[in-house]
């Protein structure tokens, strides 16, 4: 017997009542027992949803809301002409008031911590300095395409390689907006032949916007830009590759440095680890906080970022930049590594100390993982500060830390990506006594 709703397929439309927000920029709805993740909705709405992915046998379906039958009080007109079903996939929450976006993100963080981390905690997402969620992004990559015989620059549709042409982006910093317009003009003039994408970068310590042309093979000219970060603890200037990783919200570098320094509570003479350090946004102020009698060890695996990290820490004799993957240096076997009875786990690097007073880590979206977390706890830090870009990864690693005796003592959630479902968290973990 075919279960109810099993015959739904791509293109079908159904009327559904929208349930809670879910991690990933959509809300949960059900139709005759089938779970449907519906974009462009708000909990409590009634919508007509068009199936965009999935079919018989799939655990769930994906859909877009193509008609709002009963609207939420928090629904607002979208602030971008290419935001909506079938259009640009960059902004999930353009249709939600900026204040309520933060409420929804807080619900997601709290749910992931409870379900995966077994920690119940009220979460408040803090706004950063932006124009009501607009004009904050200092880096945007636009792809180069051609339609109807006319070249253009654009952004990709949701879960697609297809492009939506643009002349501007409402979440882009005004200087980046000017750069996008210039790239669009270059495309129309056929000056981007052979170019797959253009990175538009407005670095805070540079007068001019940088446009980095990316050929199809990805090999670009290396351009160094300077970023200035002004915090309560002072102003610092760092170098970074124009295409390298840097927090894209114009206010995020300041907010992250201040949040981490407050959470870490570094004391002069401390030994501090900064893992997944990048170019040293956190490493430099952490090194300064340890003082001449302390030690800061920063770990980074990307060669280009490492070169900038070393340069940015050059004036701090108590700081050491270490090249390598965090898991490898800690002696943690990689999950993807094929092993047999003759293989051995990687040896723990002698460059990492056996103990540390404070550990700061900013892992990739997949999180640190059990092996790395266990190795860090074995170093017996009095405080572990975890910067997380993914609530699910934070939830999983929170659960592991709890099993090992480290409690979640502090949490700040920062709205570093307004108009999208992304949220950044700074979580502080300590053993019950303050020292294991």
Instruction: For Cα atoms 108, 162, 222, give the angle at the middle one, nearest 5 degrees.
Output: 85
Higher model confidence: residue 308 or residue 57? 308
Span of 292-296, 321-325, 332-336 with lowest mean pLDDT: 332-336
Task: Give start and end residues of each alpha helix (H) in 54-159.
Answer: 98-117
Report the percent of the chain where pLDDT is more than 70.
Answer: 96
At 296, which helix (H) or strand (E)? strand 295-300
- pTM score of the predicted model: 0.94
Q: What is the pLDDT of residues 124-151, one digit of tens each?
A: 999 999 999 999 999 999 999 998 889 9
**Smallest Cα–Cα separation from 40: which of 419, 427, 425?**
419
Side-chain half-sphere of 43: how many Cα atoms within 13 Å? 13
Choose, from 88, 169, 383, 389, the residue flagged as catalytic.
Answer: 389
**190 close to 201: Cβ distance less than 8 angstroms:** no
**Rounded to the nearest 5 degrees, what angle is found at the Cα of 249, between the Cα atoms of 192 and 176?**
30
pLDDT mean over 27-37: 96
Say what angle helices 283-290 and 252-264 make with each other, to 10 degrees.
Answer: 30
Domains and CATH numbers, the chain: 13-75 (2.40.50.140), 117-130+226-334+346-430 (3.40.50.150), 139-224 (2.40.50.1070)
pLDDT of residue 56: 83
Beta strands in 107-209 (DSSP E): 125-127, 139-147, 150-156, 163-165, 195-201
The reported pLDDT for the residue numbered 270 is 98
Give the integer Cα–Cα distance in Å for 433 and 382.
Answer: 9
The C-alpha atoms of residue 162 and residue 143 are separated, in whole angstroms, by 10
Q: How many Å from the N-terminal Cα to the C-terminal Cα in the chain?
A: 58
Q: Is the pLDDT of residue 338 over 80?
A: no
Confidence class for position 2, pLDDT limits 50, 70, 90: very low
Q: Give pLDDT, residue 7.
A: 83
DSSP 99: H
Q: What percent of the chain has pLDDT over 90?
A: 90
- Our answer to whether residue 80 is catalytic in this structure is no
Q: What is the pLDDT of residues 14-31, one digit of tens each?
A: 999 999 999 999 999 999
Taking only the tens place, the pLDDT of each residue in 398-419 is: 999 999 999 999 999 999 999 9
Pairing of strands 34-39, 13-22: unpaired
All residues at 6 or more sequence positions from 345 whose CB lies less than 8 Å from its CB, including other chains: 331, 332, 333
Task: Please tell me the distance from the alpha carbon of residue 254 to that of residue 339, in angstroms, as a whole number.
Answer: 43
Q: Give per-residue pLDDT as tens, 49-83.
A: 999 999 888 889 999 999 999 999 999 999 999 99
Rounded-to-integer distance, Cα 410 and Cα 214, Å: 41
Q: How much is the average pLDDT of 211-221?
A: 92
**Spatial contact of 412 and 400, defined as CB atoms under 8 Å apart:** no
Using DSSP, state whether 376 is helix, strand or coil: helix
Nearest to 10 by CA among 73, 102, 86: 86
For tokens 């570098």, what's the residue? 253
Centre a 10 Å sphere on the Cβ of residue 58 and count the other Cβ atoms it contains: 14
Q: Element (H or E) spanning 181, and its range?
A: helix 174-188
pLDDT, tens only, 366-381: 999 999 999 999 999 9
> Under a CB-based contact definition with an 8 Å cutoff, are residues 225 and 175 in contact?
no
What is the model's pLDDT at position 339?
55
Tell me the mean pLDDT in the region 283-291: 97
Among candidate residues 126, 413, 99, 422, the one with its CA nearest the CA of residue 248: 422
* Burial status of residue 88 (CB atoms within 10 A of its CB: 0-12, 13-18, 19 or more): buried
Rg (CA), the chain: 23
Question: So what's the pLDDT on residue 76?
Answer: 98
When mean pLDDT is compared across 3-7, 206-210, 260-264, the lowest value belongs to 3-7
């Amino acid at each position: 017997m075919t279960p109810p709703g099993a015959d739904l397929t791509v293109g079908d439309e159904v009327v559904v009542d929208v349930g809670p927000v879910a991690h990933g920029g959509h809300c949960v709805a059900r139709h005759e027992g089938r779970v449907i993740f519906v974009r462009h909705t708000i909990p409590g709405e009634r919508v007509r949803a068009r199936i965009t992915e999935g079919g018989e046998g799939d655990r769930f379906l994906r859909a877009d809301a193509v008609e709002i039958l009963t609207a939420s009080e928090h629904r607002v007109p979208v602030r971008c002409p290419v935001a909506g079903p079938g259009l640009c996939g960059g902004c999930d929450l353009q249709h939600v008031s900026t204040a309520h976006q933060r409420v929804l993100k807080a619900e997601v963080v709290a749910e992931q911590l409870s379900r995966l981390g077994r920690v119940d905690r009220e979460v408040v997402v803090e706004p950063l300095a932006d124009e009501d969620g607009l004009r904050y992004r200092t880096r945007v990559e636009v792809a180069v395409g051609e339609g109807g015989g006319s070249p253009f620059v654009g952004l990709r549709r949701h879960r697609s390689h297809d492009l939506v042409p643009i002349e501007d982006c409402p979440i882009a910093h005004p200087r980046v907006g000017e750069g996008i317009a210039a790239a669009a003009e270059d495309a129309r003039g056929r000056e981007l032949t052979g170019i797959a994408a253009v990175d538009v970068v407005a670095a805070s310590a540079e007068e001019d916007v940088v446009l980095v042309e990316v050929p199809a093979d990805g090999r670009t000219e290396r351009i160094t830009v300077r970023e200035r970060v002004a915090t309560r603890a002072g102003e610092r200037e760092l170098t970074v590759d124009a295409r390298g990783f840097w927090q894209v919200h114009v206010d995020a570098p300041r907010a992250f440095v201040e949040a981490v320094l407050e959470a870490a509570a570094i004391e002069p003479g401390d030994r501090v680890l900064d893992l997944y350090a990048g170019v040293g946004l956190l490493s430099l102020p952490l090194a300064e906080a340890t003082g001449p009698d302390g030690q800061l060890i920063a770990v980074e695996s990307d060669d280009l970022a490492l070169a900038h990290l070393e340069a940015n820490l050059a004036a701090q004799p108590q700081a050491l930049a270490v090249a390598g993957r965090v898991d490898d240096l800690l002696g943690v076997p990689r999950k993807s590594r094929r092993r047999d009875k003759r293989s051995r786990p990687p040896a723990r690097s002698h460059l990492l100390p056996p103990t540390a007073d404070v550990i700061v880590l900013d892992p990739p979206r997949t999180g640190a993982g059990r092996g790395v977390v266990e190795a860090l706890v074995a170093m017996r830090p009095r405080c572990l500060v975890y910067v997380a870009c993914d609530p699910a990864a934070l939830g999983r690693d929170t659960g592991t830390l709890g099993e090992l005796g480290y409690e979640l003592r502090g949490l700040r959630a920062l709205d570093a990506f307004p108009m999208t479902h992304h949220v950044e968290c700074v979580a502080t973990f300590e053993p019950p006594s303050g020292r294991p």
